[in-house]
Chain A
Amino acid sequence: MSSALDQIFVHAKRWLLSWVAVAPSWVIQIASSLINIVAVLAVFLTLFALISVMERKILARMQNRYGPNRVGPFGLFQPVADGIKMLIKEDIVPARADKVVHFLAPVILAAVAILTLGVIPYGRNMTPFTIDGGILFFFAVGSTTELAVFMAGWASNNKFSMLGAMRAIAQMFSYELPLIIAVLPVVMVVGSLMPDRIVAAQGEYTLGIVPRWFVFTPWGFTAFLLFFISGLVESNRTPFDVPEGESEIVAGHMTEYSGFKYATFFMAEYLGMFAVSGLAVTMFLGGWHAPVRVLEVVPSYVWFFLKLSALLFVYIWLRATLPRIRVDQMMNVAWKFILPMAFTCVIAAAVWHYAGRGLRGWLWSLFVIVVVYSALSILLDTRRKFAPRVYRFAE
C-alpha cells in the first residue's frame, strides 16, 4: 500500500505513456519529457503562488499584524488577484531602452530557474531529468543567471538599473565559489555528481535510529550552513538584497520593469530559491528519505516537500528579522571567512573518510573544523580596530 502510494506519480506517468505506446520511440521520448516538464511547472508554479501568500502571512504574524485576509478564505486567493493585477497592468518600456534585450532578460532568468529545478530528485524514481553530472548541470545552468541580470540592467538604460546589476553580479560571483565548494565534500564522499546517488548514499540509519544524512557529520553541518548562506545570497533574499535595495537604488536591475515582466522577475527569484533549497535538501538533508525508518510508510515526495518547506520557512523567517547587510561587509565575509571555511569542510570530509567514517572520523573532523574556525575568528577579530570609516573615492 505504502509503496503504491509512494510510486503513484510514476505509475500515473507510465499510464499516460501507455496511450502512445504504439508510436515510434522518439514520440514516446518527447511525450515523456513533456510530462516531466508539465509536472515540474505545475508543482512549482503552484508552490510559488502558495509561498507568496504564506510569506506575507508569516511576515505579518512576525510583525504583529494580519496580512492578506480579504480574498478568499484566509486570503488564500491573494496570488490569483495579484496575478490578474499584474497581467492587466500597463507594460512600460522606456523609450531609450534596448527593446529586445529588455524583453529577453526576465524570460532567460525564469527559464534558467526552471531548468535548474529539473535535476533534483523529488522522490523515489522521481527525478525529472536524470543526468550523470546533475550537480554540475545545476551550477552550469545557474551561472547563466548573472548574464540575464546584466542584460536587465544594461538594457533598461537607467543608472539605478545598471548599479543594481553591477551589485548583483559582484555578489553572485563572490558567493558562487563558496556555494560550489560547500557542495564539494558531499560529491567527494559519495564519489558521484549524480543527485540520485547522493540521495541513495544517505539512505541508511546508524543503529537504526539516526539517519546518515550528511548534515549530522561535522563537515556536513558546516558545509550546509555555508551552502545555505551562499544560497541566500544567490537568490538575492533579504539580509543580502543589496542588488534590489529599495531604499538606495529604487529596485536595482528591476527598476524599469513593470506589469508581467516584473512578475516574471519575482517568479524567477522564488523559483531560484526553490532550486537552491531543493539542492540543499538533496545534498545534506537526505533528499526524500524519512528521518526515522518507521516513517518510511509516508511517501518519499512528502518528505522532500516537508524539508523544502522547512528551509523556505527559514528564508522567510530571516527576511522578517534581519536588516540588510552592507556591501563591503558582505564581500569581506565571503572571501575571508566563508571561502576558507568551505575549503576546511573539504579537508574535514577527507579526514572523516580516512578515519573510517565512524565515531573516530566524526571526532577528528570536528577537531579540524573547530581549530580552523577558532584560528579564523582570532585572525579576523576587528574589535580593537574600530576607527572612522575612510572613504577612498568619495571625498
Chain B
Amino acid sequence: MSSVSEGLAVSRRSREWTRTTLVFAALLALFFVSLLVSICAGRFGVPVGRALALVWQGATDPSRPLTAMDERIVLLVRAPRVLLAAMAGAGLAVCGAALQGVFRNPLVSPDILGISQGAAFGGALAIMLGIWGLPLIAMVFLTGMAALVAVGFLARVDGRTETVTVILSGLVVSSMFAAVVSLLQFVADPESSLPAIVYWLMGSFASATWERTLIAAPGLLIGAALLWSLRFRLNILSLEEAEAKSLGAKTERERWLVFGLVAVIVGSQVAVSGIVGWIGIVIPHAARLLVGHDHRVMLPASIVLGATFTIIIDTLARTATAAEIPLGVITALVGAPIFAVLLRRHYRERSSR
C-alpha cells in the first residue's frame, strides 16, 4: 500500500474522529443547556439567577430545610422531575437502540413491542391488589419480561425475521396487554384503584418526587449502564445468526440478557411514570443520522439525545399552558410523523437493494 493512500486514510480517520467528537460535544452541551433551562422554566416565575443559585445550594447542602415557595418549587418539584425525565428518556432511548440491534430491525421499540404495555399491566394489577413500592416494581418487571417473551416467541427471533412479522407480533402483544388492562379497569374499585390505574396509564412525569425518582433511578441507571457497556457486543448480535455465533457470541443467552436489561429499564420507568411512547423508536434513528450505525457510538448518542429530548418535551408539557399537556400527546405529535417517514424510507431502501 502506498504511503500516499496510507496518509490519506490516516487523515480521513482523524477527520472522522474529530467529527464524532464534535457531535458528542454538541450533544452533551445541548443536554446540559436543556437541563439548566428546564430547571429555570416553569409556570411559577423564578428568576434565572435565583434558580441556578438554588440548584447550587441544593447540590452542595442537601440537608438544608427549604422554607420558601421558590426553593421548594425548584428543588422539590422541578429538580426531581427534570432528572426523572432525563433518566427515563435516556433509558427508553437506549432500550430502543438495543432492541433494534437485537431484532435487526430499525422499527422496534419498547412500546411498539408491547413491553411498556406489559409492564403497565403489572402495575395496574399491583395497584388493584394494593401492592406498592418494591414489590410493585418487581411485578412491573415480570410482566414486562413476559411481554418480551411473547414477542420473541411470536416473531421467532432466531434466524432472519421479517420487519413486518416483528411489528405485527408487537402489535398483538401490546393489544393483548392493553385489553387486559381495560378489563382490570372494569373490575377495579372506582373509588381508589380505578383513578390510580387510569392516571398511571396515561404517562406523565407530573407525579415525580425525589422519592419516586430515587426508586426508579437504580433500575434506569444500572440497566442503561449495562446496555451501554454492551454496545460493541450489539454490533455482533445484530449480525446474522451464523456470523454472530462464529465470532463467539452465545446469541440466545446474550439476547435474553439484553431483553432482561430492557425489562428492568422499562419496568422502572413505567412504574413511576406510566406508558411513555415513541422515544424508543425515534431517538435511536436520530442518533444514527448523527453518528452512524456503529453501536459503539450510536448507543451513547441515543442516551444523551434521549435524555435531552425528554427533558425538553416534558418542560413543554408542564409550562406551555396552565394545564398539563399529556406527555403522550406531544410524543405522538412528534414521533408519529417521524415513524411514518422511517417506515417509508425502510421500504424504499429494501426495494432498491
The answer to whether A binds B is no
